[in-house]
Structure 1
Amino acid sequence: MAAPAEDEQANNTNSGAEITEKVTFRSLGVTDVLCEACDQLGWKTPSKIQQESLPLALQGKDVIGLAETGSGKTGAFAIPIIQALLENPQRLFGLILTPTRELAFQISEQFEALGSSIGIKCAVIVGGIDMMTQAIHLAKKPHVVIATPGRLVDHLENTKGFNLRALKYLVMDEADRILNMDFEAEVDKILKVIPRDRHTYLFSATMTKKVAKLQRASLQDPVKVEVSTKYQTVEKLQQHYIFIPTKYKDCYLVSILNELAGNSFMIFCSTCNNTTRVALMLRNLGLNAIPLHGQMGQNKRLGSLNKFKSKTRSILVATDVASRGLDIPHVDVVLNFDIPTHSKDYIHRVGRTARAGRSGKAITFVTQYDVELYQRIEYLIGKQLTLYPSEEQEVMLLMERVSEAQRIAKMELRDMEDNKKKRPAGGAKNADDADDTEDALGVRKKVKKSHGGKPGQKSQGNRKMSKRH
C-alpha cells in the first residue's frame, strides 16, 4: 500500500522546487505518530506544497493550494485531517471530493497507510459500484469519505440515515478538473448540506474562474499557497513528436512499440471507442495491451490498472481518465496517440513517466489535422519538441499485418456491442476480472479458423512481436 504514496512523494523532490534540507515533518508541527508513518512510507522530506501548507492547515486555517499533479498534495491535506482526528476522534470527520474513481481509491490507500497505526477507516463512494454495498459501508460511519460528487449526492438524497451534518473537514482535490467535468450543480448541493463551521482545503492545478467562484462560496479567510505558476515538464523527460498522415497512425504506433519493446507504455486516446479499438488491434498482433476508459465497469477499470501496475501487462491504452494523479512508477514511455484537445492535459499525460527522478520518454503523434493543437502545446510548455526518427519504408512493411489486425478489431468491436445488447443486466461473464477486449477472443478464434490456422494461433510475425513483449 505504501508504493503509490512513496512514488508521489519521491517525485516531489524533482518538481523543480528547491527544498530546504533542514525542514522536517516534525519541524512543521506534525505529531510524532504521523512522523513515524511518513518515515515508513519513505517520505523523508516534506515536499514544497507540504512545507508551505502544513503549518497553516495545522493552525486551523482554510487553504487554497495550487500545485501540479505529483507534487505531494495528498499528504498536504491527509496529515492535518488525521492529526485533528487524533485530537478529537469522531466518525464522518472528513470528506474528500475527487474528479475520478481511480484517484479516489488512491487517496483512500494513502489515508489508510498514514493512519494504519491508529486504525483509520475510509469509505470510497464512486459510480460503477453497487449502491447497497456502499450504503452498508456508510452505515458503519467511517472516519473519512472519499467520493466523486455525483455518487455522493445520490447517497445524500437516497440513503436513509446518511448525512454529513457533523463534518469537520472538506477537501476538494483537483478542483479545476471537478468543475471542468460539470460537477458544479453536485458540488453546490453538497455545500448546502454540510456544516458552515468546517475547515476547507481546495487543491487545484490552475486557478480558473470557476475555481475562484468556488473559493468565494466555500472557504473562510483562506490562505493561498502556490508552488508552481509556470506549466512545466520534468527535465529528465525526453519529449518528441512524429508527423504522419492520419491513415498510417496505427502502423507507426506498432512500429514504435516494436522498436522500443521491453519498455512499459501508456498510450493515450481521445475516446473510449478508440481506446478499445487500439487495445484490440494490438492484441491481435500479439502485444499484451489492456484498455482503461470511463465506459468500463469499475471492477474492470481497477482490474486493468492492477494488471498494469503488477506488470502482467506492459501496455495500458487509456483515455484522459488515467492522465491525472495516478502513481504508476514504472511507466517508461507515454505515447499521445491522439493529441490532447486541451494543452494542459499534455502536461498531465506526460507526467505519468519520468517520475521520482527517473528518466522517461514521451512521443506525440501529430497528423495533418493536429498542427494547431501541437503548436499550442509547445507554446504552453515553452519549448520545442524534437522530431522522433523513423524510417517510412520499414513502417510500411507492417501495413499488411496491421490492416488485418484492424479488420479483426472492427469485427470484435461489433461483436462486443451485440453481446452488450443481448446480455441480461448483471449477467456479464467474468465481469469482475476481465476487460471486454479479453472477452472478444471468440471472434479472433473464428477468424483464425477461417484462415486455416489453429484457433488462437499467431502468425510468424506476430509470434516474434509477442516474444519481445
Structure 2
Amino acid sequence: MSPLKKRKLSHKESDSGKDVSSESSSPLQSPDVHSDGEDDIVEEKPQAPTTFKELGIIDSLCEACESLGYKSPTPIQAESIPLALQGRDLIGLAETGSGKTAAFVLPILQALMEKPQQLHSLILAPTRELAYQISQSVEALGSVIAVRCAVLVGGMDMIPQAIALGKKPHVIVATPGRLLDHLENTKGFSLRLLKYLVMDEADRLLDLDFGPILDKILKILPREGRKTYLFSATMSSKVESLQRASLSNPLRVAVSQDKYQTVSTLIQSYLFVPHKHKDLYLIHVLNEHAGHTGIIFTRTVNEAQRISILLRTLGFSAVPIHGQLSQHARLAALNKFRAKSRNLLVASDVAARGLDIPSVDLVINFDLPQDSKTYIHRVGRTARAGKSGKAISFVTQYDVELWLRIEGALGKKLDEYQAVKEEVMVLAERVGDAQRAAAMEMKELHENRGMKGATLRHTRTGKGGGTKRGRDNMDKDEG
C-alpha cells in the first residue's frame, strides 16, 4: 500500500442564520464538559485517483459507474479497488455512506467479465433490506454483462429462492440464516466452486448473533482459490476473530482512524426539550425544514408507529419502518421514500444500518440511541458522498448523562439548536388534537392486529426463560 499522509481537520462547524434565543439555559452548555484535546487525525492518500479507470476498472464498468452518477471514486473505493484487482483479501473499515458497496462489487464484476462462471460470488449481509439493496447495486453495475443475481433472505418462501438457485446465478446475496437453510436443504445447491466471498457490515452480522451460523457456512465454503472481503464500520474483537477464521493474509484499508468520527459536511446539534413537549418540538423543527427529506429515529417500534400516525394526522408525508412490519410492508415503505412520494421516514434502529437512501437532508434523533456507535450509524444517513446534511438530537431532562457520553465519544461539544419557546407552544392545541387521534389509532392497531403479541412471534424460548429468534427470523431486526 502506498504511504499515507496525515492531515489535521478542524471540528468546528456552526449552523448560521437564525438570531433567536434558546428556550432555557441548557444543562449541556457548560464549557468544561470536554477539555480541548488533540485534533482528529484523518489518513488520506495523496493525489487520490479522480476516475475509476485510474483504479484499473475496465471501460464498460466505468461507463456503468458514470450512468449511475458515480463521478469519482470515494476514499474507500480508491484505496481498496486496486488491491482487490491484485487478488488480495481485504478488510475494509469505512463509515456508513462511504461507497463501500461499489468497492467490492466492481472487482467482483470485473473478475466475472474476465472469466464468466455460475455461482461465482457470495455476498453476506446482516439484514434483508441491505441484501436487497446490494443486489440492486450488483444488477445496476453489472447490467453491461447481464449479470444474474439471486437474493436469499428470511421471511420469504424458500421455493422461489430454490428455483432462482436452480438457474445458476452469477452472484448470490444472502443473509446467513437463510443461506445455511439452502445449503442444508436445497437439493443440488453447492458453492464448492465459489471464487469470491464478501461479508458486509461484519460488526452488524456479529451483533445479531450470526457467529455460529457463519462458522458453519465457512466450514462448507472452499478455502482454496477464494478471495474474501470483509467490510465493517468498526473493528471489534469479534470481527478480528472472524477475519482470522476466513481471510488469508489480508490487507487492511481504513478511511477513518476513529470509529466515532463523523464526516466534515455533517452539521450536528442538540435540542434540549422538556420530555412532555417532545412532539411539539418535533413539529416545530419539521416546519423549519419543510420540503426536506428526513429520517426520524425512535427507540421503540411503538413510538415509530405513533410518530408516523401523528405526522400524517398533521399533514406531513411520513411512512414508518420497523422490525414488526412484514417484509412486503417494509420494502413498500422504503420504495415510497426512495421514490419521494413520502419525504419523511420514521424508523426504529432497523434503519440505522444499510439503508441505501440518497440525498437525505436531515436526521432527527427523537429518542437518543443507547450507545455512541448507534448514534454514528444513525447520523450517517445524511451528509453522504460529500453532500452537506444536518443531524439534530432531542435531549430531555432524562437524557443529559447519555448525551454527554455521546459527545465524549465524538471528542467535541456540539452546538445547541436554537428554538424559540413561544413559537413552539403556539402549536400546542393542534398537536394535542393530533396526539389524541394517534392514540386512538394505536389502540385500534393493538386490538385489531395484535401488535402486542407480534414481538413474540417467530421466537423460541432460550435458556433462562428468555426468548431467542429462530434462524429464519434473525435477519429481521426487531428495532
What CA distance in whole angstroms lies between the structure 2 residues aligned with 1:367 and 1:406? 19
Give the one of 88, 97, 100 matched to 1:73. 100
More helix by share: 1
How far apart, CA to CA, are the structure 2 residues paired with 1:202 and 1:254?
41
CA distance in 2, matches of 1:417, 1:369: 28
| Aligned counterparts, 1:43-192, within 5 A | 43-192=70-219
- For 2:142, give the aligned amino acid: G
What is the DSSP-based 3-state SS (H/G/I as helix, E as strand, rest coil) of the residue aligned with 1:115? helix
Q: What displacement does 1:332 show?
A: 1.7
Indicate the residue corresponding to 1:205 in structure 2.
Answer: 233
CA distance in 2, matches of 1:251, 1:105: 36
Question: Residue 22 of structure 1: CA displacement?
Answer: 4.9
Counterpart in the other structure of 2:242: 214
Q: CA, structure 1 residues 327+17, in 2 after alignment: closer, same or farther (shift >3 Å)? A: farther
* Contact 2:96–2:381 (8 Å) recurs in 1: no
Q: Which residue of 1 aligns with 2:296?
A: 267
- Alignment match, 1:236: 265
Structure 1 residue 375: Cα displacement: 1.2
Q: Cα offset for 1:195?
A: 0.9
Gaps of 5+ in 2: 1-41, 455-479
Contact 2:49–2:55 (8 Å) recurs in 1: no
1:282/1:289 contact within 8 Å kept: yes
- Matched-pair contact (CA < 8 Å) for 2:92–2:231: yes
| Distance of aligned partners of 1:134 and 1:22 in 2 relative to their CA distance in 1, 3 Å threshold | closer
Per-residue deviation, 1:273: 1.6
Select the residue among 300, 305, 317 that pairs with 1:276. Answer: 305
Distance 1:22 1:329, change over 3 A: closer
In structure 1, C-alpha distance between the alignment counterparts of 2:347 and 2:277, rounded to whole Å: 20
Change (3 A) 1:388 1:200: same
Stretch deviating more after TM superposition (215-224 or 233-242)? 233-242
Is residue 407 of structure 1 aligned with residue 436 of structure 2? yes
Partner Cα separation in structure 1 for residue 367 and residue 281 of structure 2: 13
Q: In the alignment, residue 280 of structure 2 is paired with which amino acid?
A: C
Q: CA deviation at 1:21?
A: 5.3
CA shift digits 1:299-351 (9 cap, x unpaired): 21111111111211121101222222333223221110010112122222122
1:375-412 superposed Cα distances (whole Å, 9 cap, x missing partner): 12212222211111122233233333323322322222
Q: Distance in 1 between matches of 2:299 and 2:72?
A: 37
Of 328, 331, 339, the residue aligned with 1:302 is 331
| 1:361 counterpart SS class | strand
Distance 1:358 1:222 in 2: 32
Q: What TM-score, normalized to structure 2?
A: 0.81
Task: Kindly state the Cα deviation for residue 19 of structure 1 after the two structures are TM-superposed.
Answer: 6.2
CA distance in 2, matches of 1:76, 1:236: 22
Distance 2:219 2:71 in 1: 39
Q: Are 1:23 and 1:46, in contact at CA under 8 Å, matched by a contact in 2? A: yes
| CA distance in structure 2 between the aligned counterparts of 1:16 and 1:274, rounded to whole angstroms | 40
The aligned amino acid for 1:196 is R
Q: Which secondary structure does the structure 2 equivalent of 1:334 belong to?
A: strand
User: Aligned partners of 1:54 and 1:260: how far apart in 2?
Assistant: 38
How far apart are 1:46 and its partner, in Å? 2.4
Q: Find the aligned partners of 2:118 and 2:447 in 1 and give their Cα distance.
A: 46
Quote how far apart the aligned CAs of 1:45 are: 2.7
Q: Quick one: distance in 2 between partners of 1:191 and 1:227?
A: 27
C-alpha contact (below 8 Å) 1:63/1:222 kept by paired residues: yes
Paired AA for residue 380 in structure 1: A
Task: Tell me how large the CA RMSD over aligned residues is.
Answer: 2.1
**Residues 29 and 339 from structure 1, CA distance in 2 versus in 1: closer, same or farther, beyond 3 angstroms?**
same
Which string of whole-angstrom CA distances, capped at 9 and with x for unpartnered residues, describes residues 206-238 of structure 1? 110000000111111111112111232222322
339, 342, 362: which one aligns with 1:313 = 342
2:252 matches 1:227:
no
Q: In 2, distance between residues paired with 1:410 and 1:154?
A: 41
In the superposition, relative to structure 1, how do residues 27 and 363 fare at CA in structure 2: closer, same or farther (>3 Å)? Answer: closer
State yes or no: 1:250 paired with 2:276: no
Preserved contact between residue 343 and residue 373 of structure 1 (Cα < 8 Å): no
Stretches of structure 1 lacking an aligned partner (at least 5 in a row): 1-14, 426-469
Residues of 2 paired with 1:310 and 1:155: CA distance?
33
Q: Which of 324, 327, 347 is the aligned partner of 2:356? A: 327
Match of 2:419 among 366, 390, 406: 390
Contact 1:53–1:76 under 8 Å retained in 2: yes
Q: Which amino acid aligns with 1:213?
A: S
Taking a change above 3 Å as real, the CA distance of residues 287 and 23 of structure 1, as seen in their structure-2 partners, is closer
Q: Measured at CA, do residues 250 and 235 of structure 1 come closer, stay the same or move farther in structure 2, by a change above 3 Å?
A: same
Check conservation: 1:16, 1:234, Cα contact below 8 A. no
Partner of 2:36: none
* Equivalent residue in structure 2 for 1:29, among 53, 56, 75: 56
Over 3 Å counting, the alpha-carbon distance change for 1:279 and 1:19 in structure 2 is farther
String of CA shifts for 1:81-111, please: whole Å, max 9, x gaps: 1122122211111111111222212211111
Note the C-alpha offset of 1:23: 5.4
1:27 aligns to what SS in structure 2? helix
Greater Cα shift, 104-113 or 208-217:
104-113
- For residue 314 of structure 1, what is the amino acid of its counterpart? N
Q: Is the 8 A contact 2:318 2:346 kept in 1?
A: yes
Instruction: Say which SS state the counterpart of residue 325 (structure 2) adopts.
Output: coil
Q: Distance in 2 between matches of 1:283 and 1:184?
A: 40
Deviation at residue 133 of structure 1 after TM alignment? 2.0
1:350-389 residue pairs with structure 2 within 5 A? 350-389=379-418
- What letter corresponds to residue 160 of structure 1 in structure 2? K
